[in-house]
Structure 1
């Protein structure tokens, strides 16, 4: 059986949307290199890369 790792020993990244650090999760084991966002909310609210604004002007 594999030896357990401490949370402080896990790989860490910074979220592309909110800038907060987040650590590796088992469900991301196969795609850790592709993970950019810490949560579904940050993935939904990611910056618009098309140059248009998503907020409506009042």
Structure 2
């Protein structure tokens, strides 16, 4: 039987958008060094490079 890893033992990062900590996920195993955001929502809410703010709908 495989050894279970506790969530507290997984690597963590801080989200670049919301500032909350988030833990490693299996689907991020190959790209963990590139992951910056905790969710699709935070990735979509990041500030734009040129204007600094999101355009209003």
Which interval holds the TM-score relative to the shorter structure? 0.7 to 0.9
| CA-based RMSD | 1.3
Runs of 4+ in 1 over 4 A off after TM superposition: none
Segments of structure 1 that go 5 or more residues without pairing to the other structure are none
TM-score by length of 2: 0.85
Instruction: Tell me the secondary structure at the aligned position of residue 38 of structure 2.
Output: coil
1:4-57: per-residue Cα shift (whole Å, max 9, x none)? 21010000000000000000000000000000000000000012122x13244x
SS in 1 for 2:37: coil
1:36 and 1:20 map into 2 onto residues whose CA distance is 11
> For 2:16 and 2:54, how far apart are their aligned partners in 1?
17
Counterpart of 1:28 in structure 2 is 28
TM-score, normalised to structure 1, is 0.84
- The unaligned stretches of length 5 or more in structure 2 are none
